[in-house]
Structure 1
Amino acid sequence: MAPNDTPTALWPAPHASGAVDATVHVPGSKSVTNRALVLAALASEPGWLRRPLRSRDTLLMAGALRAMGVGIEETVSSASGAGASGEAWRVIPAGLHGPATVDVGNAGTVMRFLPPVATLADGPVRFDGDPRSYERPLHGVIDALRALGARIDDEGRGALPLTVHGGGALDGGTVEIDASSSSQFVSALLLSGPRFNQGVEVRHVGATLPSMPHIRMTVDMLRAAGAQVDAPESGGEPHVWRVTPGALLGRDLTIEPDLSNAQPFLAAALVTGGKVVIPDWPRHTTQPGDRLREIFTEMGGSCELTDYGLVFTGSGSVHGIDADLSEVGELTPGIAAVAALADSPSTLRGVAHLRLHETDRLAALTKEINALGGDVTETADGLHIRPRPLHGGVFHTYDDHRMATAGAVIGLVVEGVRIENVATTAKTLPDFPDLWTGMLGA
């Protein structure tokens, strides 16, 4: 694995001169925004998405749906809270059609959620993306859709690029899949399931199933849109989900802040012994990032959830952790960065699937933290991190937004850290450099 060789300016990660004390307005959730876009596109009536995340991944999703005939109008809404974006998107469902071409970039939600949608289009829809997207697993969605009656041309790759030959409808029914490499395989089928003639019954047959909170998010959002869903957590069979065919409602939905994207800012309070406030942190949510309250408290901080938002305070000490992160794998890079600055070792477990994310995150974290003087070793399913004094140097991102923010956290405490391609944060967290320097009062 080699870092991105494209000539890119190195970003000097800001060094904190003291304890951070800031209020940070985190943009909307990528996971919620992209699920909401799909459900709104498949609804029987127009809907609104208020305070959507406007990032590369969500703009790719919106662009793909537009290519298939969905109307998405961007406007400014007056129904926004203080300090929040007033942007709103009105989604107007239409008859899905091809021919169309979809650029997935390197967005897992786009490459996995939209092939099922494309089976409902009248005509061919071609999917292509960044070179890394060719390496990310897609076989679970491709094989499942074929079993449900779809015609897909991928030349036997089980990956991008591919063409879905939509017939305007899909029979649906029961299908077995192995979603061990990505819970998005399950979510992809469930989201379009109400529009399949027979609905869909998804049976996971793999050994493990990572990121269950994201599947619970999908189920909750389907139900809120009027779908009937039987799921394991509501008394159904283990690892079996059933979606009944039926119309989806157009909703007026305000998108929650992206709690996973709040991670570097909470980490800043933890590693500097400071305080960060995240407005509008929801009291009840299916976002995996909510687990940060528990994890970062165990690592030395404290938090209070108020009517205004989450107040997180560092104690001045950072402790190691032994944690199973199988349900919250996307938090691993930020946790590893904090663990590298702790006063005791950490073991992060249950995240072997991260080798198949935007990059091989386990190998990347090991290489980059060790290049700064750290002592990180890969395990079969995670990382073991023994804190050592770190020094400055280049922190490569591998076109991975969470690698960039992890490097920025280390840079708060370690002088001379330079982030290669910090612009990759635009994938899910636009304007991260400005938010980061603003947090430091710059």
Structure 2
Amino acid sequence: MDETLIKAALAVLDENWTGRFTRPSARLYPHQWSWDSAFIAIGYAHVLPRRAEQELRSLFTGQWRNGLLPHIVFHGPSGNYFPGPEVWAVTCNPNASSHPPTSGIVQPPNHAIAAWHLYQYARDRTQALVFLNELYPRLKAWHDYLYRERDPFHEGLVYIRHPWESGMDNAPLWDQPLSRIAIDGPLPFQRVDKQVVNPADRPTDTDYARYLQLVSLFRTCRYEESRIQERCPFLIQDVLFNTLLCQAERDLAKIARVLGRDPEPHEARAAQTARAINQKLWDEAHGIYVDYDLVAESPIDVHVVAGFVPLFAGIPSSEQARRMCANLNSRSFCRLGDRCYAVPSYDKQAPGFSRRRYWRGPVWINMNWLLYRGLQRYGEQKYAMWVRNAIIDLPRRYGFYEYYDPEAGCGHGADRFSWTAALVLDVLYTCRSETVPPS
């Protein structure tokens, strides 16, 4: 156990703890982000379980009446963060939360995964059951919203309607869909993010204008999903989002079972989603999963690290998993023994690959954590350890950054980043018997 690294990770989390929730980072992300909080709770489970519960409890105070769990909850004044509550203006929808104010979009549904993780590692199972009983109706309402409002064809696949909903904000996946959004005139906003981190690492102003144009459309539609479906130029069935929903439904079934409730509806939905991911999102030619563009009615032929995440939910067959691992262990991503850190977020052989630009090549610790668990699930221990080494070695050598250069290893984006610290803690506490050879 690396006690020095544990202390350093805890110091990052303490620094970002507000007393009610944990900021992803103090300067760039000063509010509460949805899937960040779930990853953060996973790390807290081993050392500060009551804080882990508070993390999720605080997030769900922003849940809408229809079950939508917003991607940002603004606890207190928004300060100079942009876009703040006044841009989202969600109170035009009667379901929206006004206290606390929130955004009007969502992020990947990893919250039931985190809640089950808390129970699995709880020292006090009685207290953990009390918390699960409190959270279960909110988790169920969240999943019900997704399947009811975001699965128009009842396939078991839900769509995202904004790049920010994927968690992978400016991934190359979105270039073609976003190109359908025309930008007219000067850009009517001033970005704060480019004042905090290197502008070269961030999405372009044109991309940002398109993001905000989508938000304007949602406001015009009063955040009514049926109206948005009719008019939105960005409707994507995303691999990562649906994979996490599939596993979250399975974990919600486990939660229901320990609470004495009916797990079958959750198990049935998870099975349907797994089948749909395999039937619609599997790319047989390349051995990876790809997103589907509902507007263009075609797959998005772009290969990113999220295309391997179905391993985490046990979705691929053993043969599919074998092909995925061969793809990972190639020049496109990171070959075992090469001078690289696993796993770049985008195919290194593809146009536009960047070692440092947000979601266009850097290593992300949360994606590595999902891949590590998935590779373990399929018995791919050698590559799993390669990924685990990166999870531990990158923060130990370069600090707790938002993401990392896959060749040089240096950190980029926000520093003192909470989910990086939290997931390092989880890996260290759950894999004590494993040793990490030097990179």
Same-fold status (TM-score > 0.5)? no
Q: TM-score, normalised by structure 1?
A: 0.32
Max Rg structure? 1
Q: TM-score, normalised by structure 2?
A: 0.32
